[in-house]
A = this chain, B = another copy of it.
Amino acid sequence: MHYKLALIGFGNVARALARLFIRKHDLLKQQGITFSFTGISTGSHGFAVNPNGLDIQKALELVESGKDISSLNNSQFPIPDSLAVIRHSSADVMFENSPVNTQTGQPALDHIRTALNLGMHAITANKGPVVHGYRELTALAKSKGKCFGFESTVLGGAPVFSVYREAFPLAELTSIKGIFNATTNVILTLMENGEAYDDAVKYAQSIGLAETDPTNDVDGWDAAIKVAALVTVLMDTPMTPQQVNPTGIRGITPEMIAKAKAEGKRYKLVCSAEKVGDKVEASVAPQLVDSTSPLYGMMNSSTGVTFRTDVILDYSITLSEKPGMKGGPVETAYGLFADFVNAVKK
């Protein structure tokens, strides 16, 4: 089977995904799967559609040297925006990697609706449409016999949703706990080693982890939208990041960290959600953890989640990152790739 792929958003993750497809070309072929890229939408380097297949290497080169990709466009229709790329790409699979909108999930929601309505699988690394459209998009995908995939939204591409779905049949999830934001964990690790908050933020920015405006990370919104996504999907209880109402790490002073260290403890930005009767109580807030906690050992950009169920007590998944060995976009790209393989295998 040949699959035509559209990339909506062509940042670090989408480009890593394109490279991963190229690297796995032979392995996919052994499974009877071939592919071509037929549509690319970038944030500030234009749009290109070619239903016969775009030169993906050229597209990567152009964008990475700061150039526009419109020269690769070969569509007979005008392509002024992402929706036009989706509509005219003839794609079988649409990868949605536009910037996260915590408040509304747009424009990702519309991209995914459009793709599913056109009979494409829709796969995203964007948490927005999960918390703002999970039930609608899952129902729409089902009605079209397609997949809505979002494995890469939570633990940086490491499998979480598929693990719970495939490996915990008929289990009852009673609580979720973890560290979901790598940036704040790096900052807290550096502060424990004596660095000032501002320097720690600068370091996180320098390694490509934190954005120029670190608000989304340090105020807990990235963690909150991940908690909301897990609760929405795995506890079947719609939740928004606003409902999680996070507390970030700005209030943690070097003095507090030094005191904790002297007591053998650490501050972590702890995410949690717990079923209480019919409701789910969720929070994101800095907490002191001691060495008996599985969160204590998660340093630097490591992240992880612990599931407690009625049948398996504490089952933890950890993605450990070592300095100099960070997977970053490649790992997130793999989450998208895994969704693709699982979608086309069904």
In the docked arrangement, what's the CA distance between A238 and B148, Å?
37
A167 sits at the interface (CB 8 A): yes
A321 sits at the interface (CB 8 A): yes
A345 sits at the interface (CB 8 A): yes
From B171, B319, B325, A315 is in contact (CB under 8 Å) with: B319
Known A-B contacts A28-B170, A166-B167; the reply to A318 vs B319 at CB < 8 A is no
CB of B331 within 8 A of CB of A171, answer no
Interface residues on chain A, number (Cβ under 8 Å):
48
CB of B167 within 8 A of CB of A334, answer no
CB of B313 within 8 A of CB of A316, answer no
From B170, B320, B327, A294 is in contact (CB under 8 Å) with: B320
CB of B297 within 8 A of CB of A170, answer no
CB of B158 within 8 A of CB of A315, answer yes
**New contact pairs (8) apart from A292-B299, A312-B334, CB-CB < 8 Å:** A31-B170, A159-B312, A159-B315, A162-B166, A171-B334, A294-B297, A312-B327, A312-B331
Interface residues of A (CB under 8 A from B): 20, 24, 27-28, 31, 151, 157-159, 162-163, 166-171, 291-292, 294, 296-297, 299, 304, 306, 311-322, 325-327, 330-331, 334, 337-338, 341-342, 345
